[in-house]
Chains A and B, each alone.
Chain A
Amino acid sequence: MQEIRNYTMNFGPQHPAAHGVLRLVLEMDGETVVRADPHIGLLHRGTEKLAESKPFNQSIGYMDRLDYVSMMCNEHAYVRAIETLLGIEAPERAQYIRTMFDEITRILNHLMWLGSNALDLGAMGVFLYTFREREELMDVYEAVSGARMHATYYRPGGVYRDLPDHMSKYRESPWHKGEDLKRFNSWREGSMLDYLDAFTADFPHKVDEYEELLTGNRIWKQRTVGIGVISPEVAQQWSMSGVMLRGSGIEWDLRKKQPYAKYAEMDFDIPVGTHGDCYDRYLVRVAEMRQSNRIIRQCVKWLRENPGPVIVRNFKVAPPPRMEMKEDMEAMIYHFKLFSEGYCVPAGETYAAIEAPKGEFGCYLISDGANKPFRLHCRAPGFAHLSSMDTVVRGHMLADVVAMIGTYDLVFGEVDR
């Protein structure tokens, strides 16, 4: 009889389903995975070391580039760590703005996940639908910060500036004209909050559309139901967080359990799965988009009614208003010192965690009293999730590895840092 041996296979780093630069060394017995060894670090940029060499504020932009599909959530953890050490707190309006943008970011992230995961598993159409709505939310990012992705909008002590009172409109072009142009611009006549009102009123129907495509879809269920089952015990052992925990039936959400920003005032539910398989995690993420939509609506309502400052009036950490700089010498000195040397953060250490779309994103910050961090460590949810890969995919088929990479919601910017 012919001797059949296991063989080793290289999956990635250029495989389209590897979500960037994952190199997965798989030991296969036929089409069954016997051992999986993820090789990461191909996108390692030494973010934490770079942060040690720069004043605190100059590293906010690096945070966007960690998990580059949930940009503002990363910033949130970083500025919260700095605020804790400085002993300052952002004004209430800034807290609401942060809460709102965290949830906009969550929808952005889940849309990206839904589209690309469906694409990985063979459903091309969903991708086209989700990117339609992503575009609309990215316009909100652009309106508020000038950048569609890497916003650098959160600052220690608040946010960079108040919400704009208008949205940019489409101009007439060969692609946008006539009735189409009118339809595209119909939401954009008022302020950004009007735009978000229109978006959030419409978005639940869009989620229905995605669910129409997938939730009852026979092929989708064959690819996800019973695949990658993670028990609550395994989830805890492997440091999982976010949807990976909730999909396994553990009701744990930092927004509820250890509220930050304005989540304590928000009315929302935590969706929880029962089986801990890929399908349950899909359902949890879809339900989370609906909850995020609810939170955004509550924030919009509050922000409409309550104008106020969006950054602390402490010129040692936040720049003075531009108008004051024109006429006040002292304000100009503050501005110069802040943007050249930065501010010194009192010695100490802290760990600030937030519920990022992918799980618990934390910033562990040690300061020795200087204007640069002594040590900054970013606790990325994807890193912990990917480390459990070997345990979870053993005994699965090769095609299920793709489903598993998808359900982890990996982004290598944060895994490799």
Chain B
Amino acid sequence: MSDSVPSSLAERLLARFGETVAVSSVRRETFAELAPADLLPVAAALRDEAGFRFGVLTDICGVDYLSYGQAEWTAESSTGTGFSRGVQGQALGRFNWAGRPEREGGPRRFMVSIQLLSLELNQRLCLHVYCTDNTLPIIPSVTSVWAGANWYEREAFDLYGIIFDGHPDLRRILTDYGFVGHPFRKDFPLIGNVEVRYDPQQKRVVYEPVSIEPRVGVARVIRDNAGLLQARAEAQDDWRNN
């Protein structure tokens, strides 16, 4: 499939950057985690040096790890107590703007994920950079290395409030002019905050608090994948014929 086996890319990364990056390989994909302070020198090296040659930045996206791994429905301990009603917690869609949860989040709440692609060596790499401060998440901008990072960083700033230090033009990009808040954060309500409509009396567009109620159709549930593995095995030996 590809000219280079990703595990060898992982080895090259370790050989070149050593302790600076934490490399992991899953299913032929390579991930490298690094500290914000190391991002710029590593990025420049990844673009230019032989063995990496990541000339194209494919994608940057922000991630908010608040509420990671939290389910609304306890699925394991059903025998003793019976199932819960599937309304625990304050997952997306269960709160409005006024009732939004005041949560700090864990020590590594905001992460920026950078996808790199090398056209010459036909390899991909995903960089993970965790922000050190939850209240003011800030990482260096890579626009000086890849010009194409410009809008992706604006998007992550707009949606998550992650600040990219050194970005030439860090404005909102997807949300409305004058928008308040960062809508993709896990403590931002799914129904939003304000809605717009045309007011015939005032003859202009007015902003009002949203009129819809928070609602969740399907509860969020986490199950281990033992059932999945079993079903996969059953699919293979077609249990119905036994």
**Residues of A contacting B26 in the complex (Cβ-Cβ under 8 angstroms):** 348, 350
CA distance A83 to B216 in the complex (A): 25
Report the bound CA distance from A258 to B235 in whole Å: 29
Tell me which residues from 228 to 266 in chain A have a Cβ below 8 Å from any Cβ of chain B.
236-241, 245, 250, 252, 257-259
Knowing A44-B175, A86-B228, the reply to whether A371 touches B221 (Cβ < 8 A) is yes
Residue ID in chain B nearest A234 by CB atoms: B147
A344-B228, A350-B29 in contact; A313/B174 too (CB < 8 A)? Answer: no
| Chain A residue nearest to B185 in the complex (CB) | A49
Interface assignment of A8: CB less than 8 Å from any CB of chain B: no
Q: Apart from A49-B190, A377-B61, what are 19 other A-B pairs with CB-CB below 8 Å?
A: A49-B92, A54-B217, A236-B56, A237-B148, A239-B58, A240-B148, A245-B119, A316-B228, A341-B219, A343-B228, A344-B222, A344-B224, A347-B69, A350-B29, A351-B126, A368-B222, A369-B223, A369-B224, A372-B218
A312 to chain B, nearest CB (A): 6
* Nearest Cβ on chain B to A85's Cβ, whole angstroms: 9
Q: Which residues of B have CB within 8 Å of A366? A: 63
Q: Quick check: A237 and B146 within 8 Å, CB to CB?
A: yes
Report chain B residues within 8 Å CB of A314. 228, 231-232, 234-235
Contact across chains for B27 and A84 when beta carbons are under 8 A apart: yes
Quick check: A370 and B222 within 8 Å, CB to CB?
Answer: yes
**Chain B residue nearest to A252 in the complex (CB):** B119
Check: A14 CB closer than 8 A to any chain B CB: no
Give CA–CA (A387, B154) in the complex, Å.
Answer: 11
Q: Check: A41 CB closer than 8 A to any chain B CB.
A: yes
A268 at the interface (CB under 8 A from B): no
Q: How many residues of B contact A (CB 8 A)?
A: 59
| Residues on B with beta carbons closer than 8 Å to the beta carbon of A259 | 1
Flag B42-55 by CB within 8 Å of A: 1 or 0 each. 00000000000001
B23 CB-CB contact with A under 8 Å: no
**Which chain B residues numbered 188 to 235 have a C-beta less than 8 Å away from chain A?**
190, 216-225, 227-228, 231-232, 234-235
| Cross-chain contact B221 with A364 (CB below 8 angstroms) | no
7 pairs, A vs B, C-beta closer than 8 Å: A236-B119, A316-B231, A344-B221, A362-B58, A377-B113, A383-B155, A386-B151
Rounded to whole angstroms, the CA-CA distance of A342 and B73 in the bound complex is 14
